[in-house]
Amino acid sequence: MTMKTYRLAFAAAWAGIALMANVACGFSISFSVSDVSPPGATNHPPSVIIVAPTNHQSFTAPANIFVMGGAQDDDGYSTIQPVEFFEGTNSIGFGQFIDPAQTAVAIFFFWTNVPAGDFILSARVTDDFGATATSLAVSITVLDPNARPRITSIVDAAGNGKRLIFTAAAGQVYSVQASTNLTDWETRGTATETQAGTYEFEDLQAVAIPSRFYRVLGQ
């Protein structure tokens, strides 16, 4: 009987892929591929973050918001499945992979026609073995373009001045006025838009005044 030698080259997609060969007496050969974990291996959950929008970012309604995140699974024998985005407990859609072949992937999602309100965004990722992870929450505000400016905080500034922070429609010009008696108002200057819909103004003269009231006016 003539003996024949066969050589098979097999490249596993990831650790844990097993190749089994069955040889029958009639010299027929069959192969099967199974997905098993390496001996002693434990699947670790993936991770996911939201990088855009940033926490406390503001938009103007109706807003079209670009949401971008990153997901990673370091096991080496599992891959990232679709990433789901949530507003609170409500699903708003699934992200698209920029390069799904990688163990660390970037994902993006367009949330369109968002009305005015305060929203909390998060992302949830699942790997091939069913392990899940949820990102840290990101809070955003979508402003009504017709709403009045809203002062969110007054904090200490350099030189014992005061920094006024408020939200209002993006891309507008607002002046800040101050008063000590709510009757006589003095214009202190124009606020700076630090990001879309968020404005700041520093009142360096506040150091010499024990108490002061502020208001914001559109120009």
What stretch of H or E contains 35? strand 29-35
| Closest to 85 (Cα-Cα) out of 58, 43, 53 | 53
Report pTM: 0.61
How confident is the model at residue 77, as a pLDDT?
47
Q: What is the distance, to the nearest Å, from the Cα of residue 12 to the centroid of all Cα atoms in its chain?
A: 33
Query: Which is more confidently placed, 157 or 31?
Result: 157
| CA pair distance 150, 53, nearest whole angstrom | 21
- Distance, in Å, from the CA atom of 3 to the CA atom of 128, rounded to the nearest integer, reads 42
- Going from the N-terminus, what domains does the chain have, and what CATH number goes with each? 47-143 (2.60.40.10), 150-218 (2.40.30)
In this predicted model, what pLDDT tens digit does every residue of 94-151 receive, in sequence order? 988 876 555 567 889 999 999 999 999 999 998 877 888 999 999 998 988 888 888 9
| % residues pLDDT > 70 (the chain) | 74
